[in-house]
Amino acid sequence: MFRKLNFTLFLLAFITSTLFTQTIDTTNTTVKHSDEQDAFVVFQGDSLFKINTGLGPFSPTKRAEQISGRLESIAKDITMVQDSFFISEEGGYTLISYKETIIMSISNADAEVLGLPKQKIAINYIGTIKQSFINHIENKSLSDWLINIGYTILTLIGLAIILMLIKISFKWINKKLLKYEKGLKRKRKSFFRYLAPDGPQYFFIFLSNIVKIGLIILILFLYLPLLFRFMPGTKGLVNQFYSYIADPVNFILNGLISFLPNLFYIAIIVIITRYVLRILNYVAQEIEEEKLKLKGFHKDWAHPTLNIVKIIIYAFSIVFMFPYLPGSSSPAFQGVTIFLGVLFSFGSTSAIANIIAGIVITYMRPFTIGDRVMINGVAGDVVEKTLLVTRLRTIKNEDITIPNATIINTHLWNYSKNAKKLGLILHPTVTIGYDVPSQTVIKLLLEAAKNTKNLTREFKPFVLQKSLNDFYVEYELNVYTKQPSKMAFFISELNKSIQEEFNKAGVEILSPHYQAMRDGNSSTISGEATDMRNPVDKIIDKFTGKDQE
């Protein structure tokens, strides 16, 4: 029972002493000279000065012990600066302090016993303390520094071992995750694809590396104070380091804690949106591969329709999440949102026009990927079709990007649309003078078409006389092909065959132009013996009998 009572009194005295050293009561306290034996303040085995009076509930002996203990604590600071000792007045007491630590307080009772002013006593005491600390620093051996350096090196070795263990552990974890991820990818062919993550190839390893980096940062954060505490010159850096990050960390943590309910709603919206989009991706893929067929819905509509639906779903998701975002109701956040909206409206006029045109082109289906088309004078194969632009690849392997708005506002030729069913007609032209009979020209052209390879024989070629010009006739040879992507090559081969056939027949391929004085020259009409002589000559020849020769 008495032991418990003594322990309680000791604990009460200790708490009161701690509070008293930090905040001195400003009320008038009557301190009398203690009848107990006077006590000396001892530092490093030397008696510095004597405490003659008690203070509050503390006897002179207790005061001397506490002052000695504080001096011993201060002495651990090897980089102690003498100028850090100072005297101050507070609540009727004269205080002797070192930096932020109060060493002792001098009361009116102390001044009365010693017969000196409190300020004078404080000056004498602080001089004694400084001299004692100077002697202490001079007597310090090199072994103290070596011990601290040794502790620092051991701490660094321990840190290196911990980091090495983390590296080895996560290397083993990554191997296990890689095996697990490969098995997970195989399960994606089943219904489990809706639940399996759809991210990078090594998604779980990516997350593992993030956890490893976070763990290393946390260990360094907790280990640095232990590392710096052994060197007196770096002790202050630890407290300063924590003071720099304490306020921001507390602010962020408090913000996160208050944001947790809203974060729950945002997480639900994100999860629902994610899995809805994954299901839509699967449906679009099935339609593109023609595993799923919808009446009246073409397979090339699947991907563009998916993009449009994605935009709508993302827009609704953002609208639903907006009220739960931190700071969404603040005027600054709303002002930035309005500014971005206006900026988007003015800066995306042409983009929106192209998107609308892309949607129209998608559902009008004037062409598909792989078709040979000619747009605005540019001929090529369609290699890409997006909501903004369409890309063509010419026979020279040139990729040409055409905005969709331009396609809507110009003429478009599609050479592949009917090629498989009706065939694409290639129609090179030649011009031959009137002196060559038309039947001969037609025969030679048809023979050239017959000798040209890779043309379809399903439909018969034919020849048209397109125009009768002043000095020549323009003939057009029409042949069929079902490979529009090779039309340039076929036309080249056809021209080659035409040239060979006409050369064999001795017919020149030219467009003659004449400047003639019609004075009786022979006519250029082929197959007729037309008499182009002067009428007077005809009469004379008739009477002389030359017409009968």
The model's pTM is 0.46
Closest CA to 358 of 301, 277, 288, 293: 301
Residue pair 517/449 in contact (Cβ under 8 Å)? The answer is: no
**Domain stops at, among 89, 115, 140:** 140
Is residue 210 one of the residues assigned to a domain?
no
Is residue 325 one of the residues assigned to a domain?
no
CATH number at residue 508: 3.30.70.100
Joined tokens for residue 145: 């520094």
Q: Could you give the CA distance from residue 549 to residue 543 in angstroms, rounded to a whole number?
A: 12
Q: Which contacts (CB < 8 Å, 24+ apart) does range 436-444 have? A: 436/507, 436/526, 437/526, 437/527, 438/465, 438/473, 438/475, 440/505, 440/507, 441/473, 441/475, 441/507, 442/475, 444/498, 444/501, 444/502, 444/505, 444/507
Domain membership of residue 546 as a residue range = 421-549
- pLDDT band of 5, cuts 50, 70, 90: very low
**Domain stops at, among 124, 140, 156:** 140
- pLDDT band of 28, cuts 50, 70, 90: very low
Is residue 499 one of the residues assigned to a domain?
yes
pLDDT in tens, 79-96: 555 667 788 888 788 888
HSE-CB of 225 using CA atoms within 13 angstroms: 10
The C-alpha angle 48, 51, 57, rounded to 5 degrees, equals 140
Look over the chain and give the mean of its residue pLDDT values, rounded to a whole number.
78
Joined tokens for residue 488: 């340039």
Q: What is the pLDDT of residue 11?
A: 37
CA 470 to chain centre: 69
The average pLDDT across 435-441 equals: 92
Per-residue burial over 151-178, b if 16 or more Cβ lie within 10 Å, else e, is ebeebeeebeeeeeeeeeebeeebeebe
* Count of CB atoms situated within 10 Å of the CB of 248: 9
Is residue 522 one of the residues assigned to a domain?
yes
Is residue 171 one of the residues assigned to a domain?
no
**Domain stops at, among 140, 155, 188:** 140
Q: What is the pLDDT of residue 522?
A: 53
Domains identified in the chain, total number: 2
Q: What's the burial of 100, exposed, middle or buried (CB within 10 Å: 0-12/13-18/19+)?
A: exposed
Residue pair 202/181 in contact (Cβ under 8 Å)? The answer is: yes
Q: What is the dihedral of CA 194, 199, 205, 209, to 10 degrees?
A: -130
Q: 80 by DSSP, 3-state: which?
A: coil
pLDDT in tens, 321-371: 888 887 777 777 778 778 777 777 776 778 888 888 888 888 888 888 889
The average pLDDT across 102-125 equals: 84
Going 533 to 534 to 539 to 541, the CA torsion angle's sign is negative
Going 32 to 33 to 36 to 39, the CA torsion angle's sign is positive
Q: Could you give the CA distance from residue 435 to residue 433 in angstroms, rounded to a whole number?
A: 5
pLDDT in tens, 290-310: 888 888 788 878 888 888 899
Is residue 525 one of the residues assigned to a domain?
yes
Is residue 429 one of the residues assigned to a domain?
yes
Q: What are phi and psi of 462, to 5 degrees?
A: -150, 165
The average pLDDT across 221-243 equals: 68
* Count of CB atoms situated within 10 Å of the CB of 401: 11
* Count of CB atoms situated within 10 Å of the CB of 256: 11
Q: In the predicted model, is pLDDT for residue 426 greater than 70?
A: yes
Is residue 19 one of the residues assigned to a domain?
yes
Joined tokens for residue 429: 């032209």
